[in-house]
Amino acid sequence: MPSQKGKELPPSSPEYQWVASVIRSVEQRTGSPTRWNKQVFEELDPGVLGSAHADGTMTVSPSMVLDPVRQAYTGGRPLTNDENYRLRDAAATVTHEAVHLSSHYGDPTVPGAHPTHDPAGRALEEGQAEHWTHRNLDGVIADVGLDAAQPGVLTQPSMDAYPAYTSASADLNSALAARTGQSTDEIATRLIGTERAQRWNAAADMVIDQRLGGLMPESHRDAIRAQVVAPARAEFEKLAAVVQADKSLNSAQKTTLAKDAASRAISGMDQAVGHAEQHYQNWYQQEAARQAPQQAAPQQAQQTTQQQTAPQQAQQTTQQQTAPQQAQQTAAQQGGPQQGSPGGQQRPEPVHQGQAQATNRETPSTGQAVSPEVVKLRAMMSGGQAPASGAVHVNGSSTDGARPDRNGQSAAQHATRTTKAPTPERG
């Protein structure tokens, strides 16, 4: 169900100014200018806490977002635990929507781009937005002075509106951080600051640059990138399909599914890059072997006409490079292997699309017993295909997704909050 805009908040109102201060905080912390159009509306759908719209507007629930914030500043007393919990969730909602507004769509029609509103793209967007919100919420609260008005807001837990997508995105970020030497926060900020149509490519490039630098001709990047992206998108797409199909899943079950999906996604990316790495290393070795006889003949002729002393021979031995090193160095000096250049280096053949291994569908063994419930959940994720080229793209006029209402849950019940299907947002 689409988000429903109600009354517009006057820019002079305290509520509008508070929302604006949260958006400014997120903009500064992400380093990405938002596409907010300076308009804030009341959200009429009682099941939606807030939404970020394609036109740059934001909607927020009057009762679940604006009322708790208003009470925090004007109530004249410390809030109860449950009130502080609702206040924290209100701040998380506006922060989450502001992250969406810091995330730009890009052009999904350019070669190599990906859909921005298909299941895989939406799962990644919602997961990155919610994950960033959880990591930075206390800082945003401090930026807008909410902790000064109600210190108890910092003692409350954060409710996860998208436990499946948040967990999968967090694990993806951690894996990218481990492979690139960056922090998970740096990875998250980089992905959020990347246009959505190119976000999967940005994640793949991080791994490609780390493993294939100096090996892969730059002209091969698009083909290799597509093979690295495919297994990750396939797993996020399947995760979204399962979560949307089974509304009975609780947060713990969604997290289990997400971790398995992320593990397979990361394994698939590693396999694709590893296959390409082996392909290029083999080529350089073969090229070195081809060049070795050509290099040996002049050396043998020179040795028969000129007697070298033992010290000269020792010096020559220490200066000589191995054949693979010579081949790779020559290619690098020429700006990469050049295919078909007369008398020059041959270019490695591209890694064919069918060569890269698909997602490893086996769940990595942990050496621990797995409960029947987990086995059943994992079985739900088996099968499925990678998204086809040119997968369905929802027009950019749609909203990102709605951050759903907690359905009246208290702080003690936050772990079982139900997530609605992506409609508008805290989404």
Q: What is the pTM of this model?
A: 0.77
The two three-digit tokens of residue 10, written as one number: 């006057």
**Whole-number Å distance between alpha carbons of 101 and 105:** 10
Does residue 343 fall inside a structural domain?
Answer: no
Does residue 245 fall inside a structural domain?
Answer: yes
The per-residue pLDDT for range 234-262, each reduced to its tens digit, is 999 999 999 999 999 999 999 999 999 99
Share the mean pLDDT of the chain: 81
Does residue 293 fall inside a structural domain?
Answer: no
SS3 content of the chain, % helix, strand, coil (to 5): 60, 5, 35
Identify the domain containing residue 115 by its residue range.
Answer: 5-277+381-390+401-416
Q: What is the pLDDT of residue 289?
A: 87
Q: What percentage of the chain reaches a pLDDT higher than 70? A: 69
The per-residue pLDDT for range 72-103, each reduced to its tens digit, is 999 999 999 999 999 999 999 999 999 999 99
**Whole-number Å distance between alpha carbons of 375 and 369:** 10
Does residue 25 fall inside a structural domain?
Answer: yes
The per-residue pLDDT for range 47-79, each reduced to its tens digit, is 999 999 999 999 999 999 999 999 999 999 999
Does residue 43 fall inside a structural domain?
Answer: yes
Total number of domains in the chain: 1
Q: How many Cβ atoms from other residues are within 10 Å of residue 62's Cβ? A: 17
Higher pLDDT, 423 or 320: 320
Does residue 129 fall inside a structural domain?
Answer: yes
349 DSSP β-pair partners: none
Does residue 286 fall inside a structural domain?
Answer: no
**Whole-number Å distance between alpha carbons of 152 and 157:** 11
Non-local (6+) Cβ contacts of 264 within 8 A are: 231, 235, 359, 360, 361, 363
Does residue 289 fall inside a structural domain?
Answer: no
**Whole-number Å distance between alpha carbons of 182 and 202:** 14
The answer to whether 33 and 20 are in contact (CB under 8 A) is no
